[in-house]
Structure 1
Amino acid sequence: MINFGLSGWLSEEELNLLKNVILLRQKAIAFCEEERGVLKHSYGKPYKIRVIPHEPWQKKPIPIPKSILHQFIEQVRKRIRTGPYEKSTSSYNSPVFCVAKPSGKLGIVHDLQDLNKVTIKYAGLPRNVDEFVGSCYGLEDIMGGYNEKELDITT
C-alpha cells in the first residue's frame, strides 16, 4: 500500500494521474533492493568522480565484531547481488564499519575521508539531499542514495 499523503493533499485529478503514472511505469519504482536498478545510459552517463593527482591508498580494515560478522557478510553479498557493489581489483582500499539502525539492521558505513581529500568538489550539486527532497511529502524512502547511476570505470 502506498501512502499518497494526507487526505486532500493531492486533488482527485492529481491522485488519479499519479496512480496512472505508477501503473504505467511499474518497473521504474523499486519497492525493495532486489527490484532496484540503474538508469539507462541514454538518461545520464555514469558518474565520473574528478580527482586531483594522488597516489592510491590501502587502509587497514576496521575489525567487524564476530557477533555481527555473519550479518555484515550477508549484507555485502546482497549488495553484490543487487548491484550497489561489484567485485573489484582496485588499487584503492577504504575501510568500512557498521552501525546499528533503529530497525535493528546493520548499516554499512564507508570511510571515504581519503577520497574526499582528493575529490574536486562540484559546486553545482546540493550539499544535502534534504535540500531537494525536504519539500516532498514522504512518499518514498531514498533507497541507496545516489546508486541510480553507475560509476564510470575510469574513475
Structure 2
Amino acid sequence: AFAFQFSEKGFFDRKYYPDYEIPVIEHTPWQRPPIRVPNAILEEVKSEIRTQELAGRFEPTVSSYRSAMFAVAKKKGVRLVINLEELNSVTVQDSSLPPNVNDFAEDFVGYAMYGLFDLFSGFD
C-alpha cells in the first residue's frame, strides 16, 4: 500500500488478525512519571497525538501501566517516542530460530520476487 499520511495506512481486519497478546512474566505494573514537554513544542505534540488518535494508532485507555513518552524534533515536525524498556524486561523471549534460507530457497527458482520496506515512517 502507498501512504503519505498515517490516516491512509489502514489496519488488518481483526476478524482475520486478532489482537496479539504479548506473553509476560509475573510483575508489578509500572507507572513512570511523564517527561515534561517543552512549551515551545507543546502545541505541536498535542497536534501529533490528535493526528495519531484520528488515524487509529493511539486510543484512549484506562490502565495500571504508564510508560514515559517524549518528543523528538524532526525535519517535518515531531516524532513521539514511548519508552517500553519495562515491557521488554518482562516479556517472555521467543527462543525459536528463523528458518534456514537454504532449506527453501530452491523452491523459489524461476519465480518473480519482490521486497517490502517502509519509506513512510521507518518501520514505525
Shorter-chain TM-score category? 0.7 to 0.9
| Cα distance in structure 1, aligned partners of 2:91 and 2:13 | 25
How big is the shift at 1:99? 1.1
Corresponding residue for residue 63 of structure 1: 36
Is 1:33 the counterpart of 2:6? The answer is yes
Change (3 A) 1:95 1:30: same
Change (3 A) 1:125 1:112: farther
Corresponding residue for residue 58 of structure 2: 85
Q: Which one has more relative contact order, counting CA pairs under 8 Å at least 6 apart?
A: 1
| Cα distance in structure 1, aligned partners of 2:12 and 2:116 | 23
Tell me the alpha carbon deviations over residues 34-69 of structure 1, each in whole angstroms, 9 at most, x when there is no partner: 122210134422221111011111111011100001
How big is the shift at 1:32? 1.9
| Cα distance in structure 1, aligned partners of 2:97 and 2:37 | 33
- Identity score, percent: 36
How big is the shift at 1:98? 1.1
Where does the alignment leave 5 or more consecutive residues of structure 2 unmatched?
Answer: 99-113
Corresponding residue for residue 132 of structure 1: none
| Cα distance in structure 1, aligned partners of 2:46 and 2:122 | 18
Match of 2:81 among 82, 94, 109: 109
SS of residue in 2 equivalent to 1:94: coil
Question: Which is further off, 31-40 or 82-91?
Answer: 31-40
TM-score by length of 2: 0.74
Is 1:100 the counterpart of 2:73? The answer is yes
| Cα distance in structure 2, aligned partners of 1:120 and 1:55 | 15
TM-score by length of 1: 0.61
How big is the shift at 1:125? 8.7
CA RMSD of aligned residues (A): 2.6
Corresponding residue for residue 4 of structure 1: none
SS of residue in 2 equivalent to 1:67: helix
| Cα distance in structure 1, aligned partners of 2:97 and 2:50 | 31
